[in-house]
Amino acid sequence: MTKFSTKAIHAGQEPDPGTGAVMTPIFQTSTYAQTGLGGHKGYEYSRSGNPTRTALEECIAALENGTYGLAFASGLAAEQAILSLLKSGDHLLSCDDLYGGTYRIFERVISRYNIETGYVTTGKPEDYEKAIQPNTKLIWLETPTNPLLRLVDIRAIAEIAHRHNILLVVDNTFSSPYFQRPLELGADIVLHSTTKYINGHSDVVGGALVLNDHETYEAIKFYQNAAGGIPGPFDSWLTLRGIKTLAVRMRQHEENAFSIAQFLTEHPRVQRVYYPGLASHPDYALAKRQMSGFGGMVSFDFKGTLEDVDQLVRKLNVFTFAESLGGVESLVCHPATMTHGSIPKELRESRGLTDTLLRLSVGIEDIDDLLLDLQQALAD
C-alpha cells in the first residue's frame, strides 16, 4: 500500500494528460463545452464538478483511507452538508466540548427545523449509549476536542452507534489524517476544516468530508450540488499545494507542541495544561491507542484575571494573537471571546472553558524562539 507522504503528493494528481504538467492545473472555468445532448467529458458546470476540486477530493479521501471525498467552501459548509441528512423531528447527539461555530449551527440554525441536539459531558462510551433517544440519527464527535483536547474512544462509540443504526461523524480537524484516521476505527463520516492543518498555510478557507458508504455519499453529494457551498478551483489548488507537506509539517508541529506543553506544565503562572501527549492527561492511554501522534494544539489555564490574559497576549512576539489554527505560524487564541464566544458564558464555564483559558496552535518555527517568547510573556 502506498504510504501517507507519497499519497499526499500524488493521490488524485497525475500529470495533466493534455500538457504533461506535473502540478494539477487550476481549471478556472465555470462551464464546459458539450458535443451534444449528454455529450460531455465528465464535467458540465463547475458547481457540480471541477477537475481541480476532483483532485483535491480524491487526495483527501486517499489520506483518510476512504472511498469518497467531498470538498466544500468552509468547514461549516461541510458540517451543514452532513446535517442535511437529518429531517424535522430527528435528534443529534454530540460531545459538549466542541467548536463554537458547530454549537451555533446546532442551536441557532438546525434547531429552527425541529432538530434537537443533546450533549454528553463525559468521554465515557456508556454515557453516549444512555443518551441515545429513539429518534437519534447522528452522533457527532470531536476528538481531540476544541479547545480542551479531550478524547473520545472512536471505536467504542462506533460500535454503539451501529448497534442502534446511527451514523457516527468525527471531526478530525485537530489531528489531521496523519495522526488519526477515524474511518479505520469505525466512523461513518470524517469531517475536516481544511483551512487548518490540511492546507497548513493560513491562506484559504475550506472544508471536506470523507466516507465509504455509497448511498450516504450520493445523498451528501446531491446536497453539495444543490446548495452550492463549494470551493473554487484556485482555493482547491491552494489546498492541494498545502497537503503536499502535511506529513513533514505535522511531525514538526507535534515535536514543538510537546516541548511547549512540558514547559507550561512546570511554569508557576500556569494552572493546568491540556495536551494528550502528556502522561498526566486523563486520556493519554487512549491517545496512544487511537492516534499515531498527539498533534500541535496545546491549551492551558492561566493563573490570573481576564486583564492579565490581555496583557499576556499583547506581550507575545512570535505567537500571533488570532483566530484559527493549523498553519505553519504559531497562534494564540482566547476561546471565550473568540472561537467560542457564541456559547453563553454560564454554559461555557460549566464545560470548563474559562476566561483564563488560552489555546495555542503551535507552529513549525524554531522551538527555542517559541519557548523564549512564552517565557518573556509569562514573566511577572
**Are 237 and 323 in the same domain?**
no
Banded model confidence at residue 105, pLDDT cuts 50, 70, 90: very high
**Are 166 and 254 in the same domain?**
no
d(CA 200, CA 252): 12
d(CA 94, CA 121): 9
Among residues 243, 277, 308, the one where a domain terminates is 243
**Are 254 and 235 in the same domain?**
no
Cβ neighbourhood burial of 154 (10 Å; 0-12, 13-18, 19+):
buried
**Are 183 and 216 in the same domain?**
yes
**Are 203 and 280 in the same domain?**
no
H-assigned helices in 65-124: 75-83, 100-108
- Give the active site residue among 150, 196, 249, 351: 196
Per-residue pLDDT tens over the stretch 272-281: 999 999 999 9
Q: Residues 357-365: what's their mean pLDDT?
A: 97
369 catalytic per annotation:
no
- Give the active site residue among 90, 96, 97, 171: 171
**Are 33 and 68 in the same domain?**
yes
Per-residue pLDDT tens over the stretch 294-326: 999 999 999 999 999 999 999 999 999 999 999
**Are 270 and 169 in the same domain?**
no
Strand partners, 210: 69, 190
Banded model confidence at residue 196, pLDDT cuts 50, 70, 90: very high
Among residues 243, 264, 298, the one where a domain terminates is 243
> CB–CB of 341/353 below 8 Å?
no
**Are 237 and 251 in the same domain?**
no
Provide the CATH number for the domain around residue 268: 3.90.1150.10
d(CA 284, CA 19): 50
47 catalytic per annotation:
yes
99 catalytic per annotation:
yes
- Give the active site residue among 16, 47, 104, 284: 47
> CB–CB of 169/139 below 8 Å?
yes
Banded model confidence at residue 20, pLDDT cuts 50, 70, 90: very high
Strand partners, 98: none
pLDDT higher than 80, residue 380: no
pLDDT higher than 80, residue 35: yes
Counts of helices then strands in the chain (DSSP H, E): 14, 12
Domain range for 182: 4-243
The number of distinct structural domains making up the chain is: 2
DSSP type of residue 185: G
d(CA 336, CA 329): 22
Q: What are 372's three cell numbers?
A: 523564549
**Are 176 and 225 in the same domain?**
yes
d(CA 108, CA 350): 20
Provide the CATH number for the domain around residue 65: 3.40.640.10
> CB–CB of 223/81 below 8 Å?
yes
Q: Residue 136's closest CA among 154, 155, 117, 159?
A: 117
Pair type for strands 116-120 and 136-142: unpaired
Amino acid 1: pLDDT: 62
Burial 285-307 (b: 16+ CB within 10 A, else e): ebbeebbebbbbbbbbbbeeeee
Q: Taking the CA atoms of the chain, what radius of gyration do you get in angstroms?
A: 21
**Are 320 and 369 in the same domain?**
yes
Among residues 177, 209, 243, the one where a domain terminates is 243
Per-residue pLDDT tens over the stretch 151-178: 999 999 999 999 999 999 999 999 999 9
pLDDT higher than 90, residue 218: yes
Burial 2-26 (b: 16+ CB within 10 A, else e): eebeebbeebbbeeeeeeeeeebeb
289 catalytic per annotation:
no
**Are 233 and 287 in the same domain?**
no
d(CA 43, CA 49): 6
Report DSSP letters for 255-277, one per residue.
Answer: HHHHHHHHHHHT-TTEEEEE-TT
**Are 110 and 253 in the same domain?**
no
- Give the active site residue among 99, 103, 217, 223: 99
d(CA 246, CA 229): 25
What type of residue sits at position 118? G
